[in-house]
Amino acid sequence: MAAPRFPFDDLQGFLGALERAGELHRVTTPVDPTLEISEIVTRTVRAKGPALLFEKPTRGVMPLAINIFGSDRRMAMALGVQDFDEIGARIGELAKPELPQGFSGMMDGLGKIMQLKSLPPKKVRSAPCQEVVLKGDEVDLNMLPGLVMWPGDGGIYHNYGLTHTKHPETGKRNLGLYRLQQHSHNSVGMHWQIHKDSTAHHAVAERRGERLPVAIAFGADPVVSYSASAPLPGDIDEYLFAGFLRGERVELVDCLTVPLQVPATANVILEGWVEPGERLPEGPFGDHTGFYTPVEPFPVMHVECMTMRRDPIYHSIITSKPPQEDGPIGLATERIFLPLIKILVPDIVDYHMPEAGVFHNCLVVAINKRYPKHAQKVMSAVWGAHLLSLTKLIVVVDDDCDPRDLQEVAFRAFGNVDYAHDLVLTQGPVDHLDHASYQQFWGGKAGVDATRKLPTEGYTRGWPEEMRMAPEIVAKVDKRWKEYGFPESPSRKGGGR
């Protein structure tokens, strides 16, 4: 069970590795963070280009790193693996079948992983992130090269701020990734969606009439930055998870003005408070759905202290309809969490969240179908699963179909389905950002049973045999291919079609 080969101590170390690998392009000319950077990054992502380091953004006093996770190779480098399934295999070896099934089994599996293979975060007394300290009137968020990404955006946004809060009663920490709209030189809007843990922390603080301490880190090491996006249950500490991924403890340092801890090697830290009852309009914002999310009231963080490295680098990300940099992040999450999803829903053999579905609109699930309406049972389990409950469309296929082969998935979903019998329609919670639901936060969902049908399901015609070429003919043609005058044999993906 191999641990990560080269965890990076900080963002600078990761950028150096990307540059040595030919995966980083430096933009040395001045570039405007309002719209211009967004257009450059979007073209780079669509061309499958490198990470970018804008050395002279025309807003702010520091370089801006972006698209650092924008390819499978860079995302794997960030996590210290060759393939995301390596991490899933490590988890799978620990989350053995003797664990109970369902949500309690997934929680037990995560707890076991943290106990056996992670160490708690290591507290340090001094840290690079506090080399420069600005307090009170010295705080100025305009020092950061925040982005205006789309013409209709409501202002400057900081899109990769790792937000730290803790439960006012239990003290349980949460590390989350939320967009931050800059309201002024010392305040930001907290886009805490209804299903997020920080929303729960804030609700408890408001009920108690207390202000909530908040700390935001920019430019942390790549594993910590990824872990902030991971869909962990609220009881699992993101820094323990990061320690598991890194194979070593994460160093944290006490904030200077709020009772929280932040990653010691981050580049910039904001410290402040959210006052009970205070809201300001937030938005519009061009989101990863491809549409602007509307203006809504959200809590406000008042920044009282700003610390940073002497030579900081700011990290951000562009949001737009796919493809975009968050695609490889979502793929990493899919593969890493597969063993835990199998504990949560044991019927699942494999699954895939197509990038075009922005990771919560569609889920393709492969099962080993064993009894009537097995696919429908899996749909219900997915819609009741903590990590997957916001899924709008579920397509269930047999386990001889690779869920990532969307051509084959479409072939089965289009051809194997009698929609009078194999379509399930229901209602339930949807993502806060979903623009299609007629009511915010809940809407319609669909499940498509694209598996082979059984006589016990009422299908009495006898399921037809799918065409497959005889194996001996395949072998013969493989052997003689060059005799036919072709340069190399093409893949036979897709069977007999």
State the Rg of the chain over Cα.
24
Find out whether the peptide bond into 323 is cis, omega within 30 degrees of 0: yes
Length of the chain in terms of residues written? 497
Q: What angle do CA 355, 360, 364 make, to 5 degrees?
A: 70
Dihedral through CA 195, CA 196, CA 202, CA 207, nearest 10?
Answer: 30
The residues, ordered by sequence, that sit 6+ positions from 432 with a Cβ below 8 Å of its Cβ are 193, 194, 195, 440, 441
3-state secondary structure of 330: helix
Q: Which of 287, 347, 350, 449 is catalytic?
A: 287
Q: Give the E-state strand segments of 85-211 in sequence order.
A: 122-124, 132-135, 157-166, 173-184, 187-190
Read off the tokens for 391.
């899924």
Q: d(Cα 414, Cα 437) in Å, to the nearest integer?
A: 24
Beta sheet of 442-449, edge-to-edge order:
348-352, 362-367, 393-398, 442-449, 423-429
Which residue, chain included where needed, has tokens 């430096």?
A: 26
Are the C-beta atoms of residues 230 and 19 closer than 8 Å to each other?
A: no
Q: Give the E-state strand segments of 169-299 in sequence order.
A: 173-184, 187-190, 212-218, 251-254, 261-263, 268-274, 280-282, 285-286, 292-293, 296-298
Read off the tokens for 277.
């009852």
Q: Give the E-state strand segments of 131-242 in sequence order.
A: 132-135, 157-166, 173-184, 187-190, 212-218
Read off the tokens for 129.
């992130």
CA-based nearest residue to 302, from 184, 156, 187: 187
Q: d(Cα 379, Cα 389) in Å, to the nearest integer?
A: 10
Are the C-beta atoms of residues 397 and 409 closer than 8 Å to each other?
A: yes
Are the C-beta atoms of residues 133 and 290 closer than 8 Å to each other?
A: no
> Is 287 considered catalytic here?
yes
> In the chain, how many H helices and how many E strands?
13, 23
443 CB burial (10 A radius; 0-12, 13-18, 19+): middle
3-state secondary structure of 242: helix
Read off the tokens for 62.
């520091």
Active site residues: 287
